[in-house]
Amino acid sequence: MSNEDWGDIGEAAKVAGARGGSDIINALVAWYLRRPGAKLPERLSSEELARIAAIPYEAKRPEKQTRNRHSTTNKPES
């Protein structure tokens, strides 16, 4: 997922009352896999999404960036 999309989904999650973008992704995956009780998350209105899209990318980034937990470039030497 692009950084811009991840920033937008994080902002959308805040507006929707979710803890973060991963809550929305997890709900989508559960719904897609037909997990018992899973429901498709509600989408924001076009107006709400337009407001989120207008926020500059830099404002959507977390204040403190941490290295990608899947990265192999910052592993300690053995």
Confidence of residue 73 (pLDDT cuts 50, 70, 90): very low
Asked, for residue 69, whether it belongs to a domain, the answer is no
Whole-angstrom distance, CA of residue 9 vs CA of residue 21: 5
Asked, for residue 66, whether it belongs to a domain, the answer is no
Asked, for residue 75, whether it belongs to a domain, the answer is no
Helix (H) or strand (E) holding 6: helix 3-16
Asked, for residue 30, whether it belongs to a domain, the answer is yes
Asked, for residue 10, whether it belongs to a domain, the answer is yes
Q: Among 60, 63, 62, which Cα is nearest to 11's?
A: 60
Whole-angstrom distance, CA of residue 44 vs CA of residue 48: 6
**7-47 pLDDT, tens digit each:** 888 888 888 887 778 888 999 999 999 999 999 988 889 99
**28-38 pLDDT, tens digit each:** 999 999 999 99
Asked, for residue 49, whether it belongs to a domain, the answer is yes
Domain interval for residue 41: 3-60
Token pair listed for 50: 């337009």
The CA radius of gyration of the chain, in Å to the nearest whole number, is 15
Asked, for residue 8, whether it belongs to a domain, the answer is yes
Counted domains in the chain? 1
Whole-angstrom distance, CA of residue 25 vs CA of residue 49: 17
